[in-house]
Structure 1
């Protein structure tokens, strides 16, 4: 009876001992190494940045696991686990180093990019300032050219005006010299040249030789001053009838105009008017005064061809 009970117990014990002898052996260092290895495998940076070191850690980890599976001594298992742990640490540290280097490189690249953008912005700003300066210089140069052109134009006009003034001055001086010979007088109506009664035949409208010479001088004045016109007014004393005097004054004025036309003066530059005895310059109370009233007055226009009416 006792022999029957003892046999199963012995068999169970043998089975338990057999099971214990086939279970993989482990140590705390191996367990810690396995945890480190698992962490390294789960870290993509380690797989990417330290692939060679990770393969070396794989080999070392396999050696440690094999020793545990083969129930090698704890000393050997720990020695192999230590080697694996060191290789895992090398892989992790290398991955951290390369990650840091990459971060530094990225930072340097970002810094370089910022510097490049700053230099680009500075260059763009400098170019914009240069363009603005050039535009301002162009505007200033254009303004100077315009001002110079205006100054030149103003100078040209001033020179033209000066030349015109000088020409007018010369003409006026020449005119004064010519009119002095004709004994012309300046009045409120303008310059007046008087042809006396002695330049005509007695009670006639025909100019005598002296009268023709005087009219020739007047023609020369008009030819030298084409912008001027003349009004020829005939006057008489009060001797004789009013109708006779009016007719004589008109005929004498017409005679002077005809002489001027013959001497080359355009007819449309000469206007005539007869006033008879209406505008005496002296009392008709003696022969000398009546002679003064028998006259032809020639009024010279201004430079614009205007004559102040009587």
Structure 2
């Protein structure tokens, strides 16, 4: 069946092809990491289907094709009944169009949580791809979908709150005259401290206080110091060791840009 599928995808004379994943190959594989969760199923001869998410990133469903020169014009996805389901469990599914189509990859972003829920209940997925030469329909069957989805959900609950790119450089914008962190800014620092539990490579935390140019350099310097000190104090309150913290007050130096407010505290993680 696989060799015929490869032929279907490259033949100029074939108008359509329908492939169903054999049940013995329809197993989901979980890749679990504090910074990445992936639930994937390999479709031999065609590509790979995968649910993916990362810290602070939306859940997406992707289809990656093996054929490097396959040009997909449109793609759709639908939840369908499994052939073993009793009539009482059978249902029709809404058709969703692809959110993005790129070279060898298609992304569906509209309702991935719904699709996970349906896989958990035993339903299958039907992909429809339109290429320059043919229409391809793939029925993605599933074995032990409930256990696979449960494992994926557990991975998500244990995931770090931020990626390194999101955590390494945080700018807390302050209001005029503000000396202490707002509740929203405290929440951001709590996320950062939570991230530190997953990334043991972080050695130092730089806390840089800044202030606008008000005309009195000493007052600006003191204000920037108060802002940085308050952030440092909150880190200590959250259990961060004092030896990791380095507090610096820059006053009105190093503005973001000309004629732009410089009221901020910048937190940088150093590995």
Structure with bigger helix share is 1
Greater relative contact order (Cα < 8 A, sep 6+): 2
The TM-score normalised by the length of structure 1 is 0.35
The TM-score normalised by the length of structure 2 is 0.39
Structure with bigger strand share is 2
Larger Rg: 1
